[in-house]
Amino acid sequence: MPQNHIVVLPGGGYRMLADHEAEPVAEWLRGVGVAASVFRYPLLTEHPVPLEAVRAEIRRVRAAGAERVGVLGFSAGGHAAGLAALAPEEGEPGGVADLAVLCYPVVSMVTPSHSGSRDILLGARPSDELRRATSLELLVTPDSPPVFVWHTADDETVDVRPVYDLARSLATAGVPHAVHVYPSGRHGLGLAEGSGLPARWTDEAAAWLRDLGWAD
């Protein structure tokens, strides 16, 4: 099996980082046979600073010996992970993620969903071009890496509807993907132990990673 590594990106609206979406998640990944680390990307700064930092971390992990580097992110960290996997690469090569796991992610910057993340990342009056360039559902191509997404249908903080747009883009482009939308669950569940149906996401993600040759 190739040496795989997943970089965990906690959520927090690009304003803070949630501890329960950090080291406990990396520990869970190690438990299913995937090397993992947490990356605390820059906060309260505009695009492309967080993306460039994540891609620099991906290059660093590759230089340390990983053959394939994936990203796993929550909420705004899910948006950062999605950009690292789907946005065109500029400059130094090697910073595009080979796989992405997106957990209740902020997906779109062209819809009203989660304007707090958008205002921090893009500023108060972003251009239509910038909003499109940072909307995951508009960045998918046939060359995009595999993507796993999970969300809850009644999340009141980050609207689930853009997830379906992303899923449609992945399907249209023929990109390997899995999408799980659970009926109910608050935002910010993390590993989601004891939360009912959303608690299944770790088993489903682990099985998906195994099918792709990323986990034991």
Q: Which domain holds residue 35?
A: 4-72+83-211
Phi, psi of 21 (to 5 degrees): -100, 15
Does 108 reside within a domain? yes
Does 158 reside within a domain? yes
Report how far residue 127's alpha carbon sits from residue 129's, in angstroms, rounded to the nearest whole number.
5
Does 78 reside within a domain? no
Q: Three-class SS of residue 102?
A: strand
**Tokens read off for 132:** 């499109």
pLDDT given for residue 1 in this prediction? 56
Percentage of residues of the chain with pLDDT beyond 70? 98
Q: Three-class SS of residue 211?
A: helix
Q: Three-class SS of residue 73?
A: strand
CB atoms near residue 102 (< 10 Å): 30
- CATH code for the domain in which residue 46 is found: 3.40.50.1820
pLDDT digits (tens, 9 = 90+) for 6-37: 999 999 999 999 999 999 999 999 999 999 99
Residue 53 has pLDDT above 70, yes or no: yes
Look at phi and psi of residue 147 and say left if phi exceeds 0, alpha if psi is from -120 to 50, else beta: beta
Residue from 101, 182, 110 nearest 139 by CA: 110
Q: How many domains does the chain have?
A: 1
Does 77 reside within a domain? no
Identify the residue whose tokens are 């340390």.
Answer: 64
Helix (H) or strand (E) holding 122: helix 115-122
Does 216 reside within a domain? no
Percentage of residues of the chain with pLDDT beyond 90? 94
Residue 131 to residues 47, 54, 117, 213, Cα–Cα distance (Å): 10, 19, 12, 34
CB atoms near residue 204 (< 10 Å): 13
> In this structure, are residues 161 and 113 in contact, taking their beta carbons and an 8 Å threshold?
yes
Does 110 reside within a domain? yes
Does 189 reside within a domain? yes
Give pTM, 2 decimals. Answer: 0.97
pLDDT digits (tens, 9 = 90+) for 73-120: 999 999 999 999 999 998 889 999 999 999 999 999 998 766 789 999
Question: To the nearest whole number, what is the mean pLDDT of the chain?
Answer: 96
Find the mean pLDDT for residues 56-67: 97
> In this structure, are residues 70 and 214 in contact, taking their beta carbons and an 8 Å threshold?
yes
pLDDT given for residue 112 in this prediction? 78
pLDDT given for residue 114 in this prediction? 67
Confidence band (pLDDT; 50, 70, 90) for 151? Answer: very high
Does 15 reside within a domain? yes
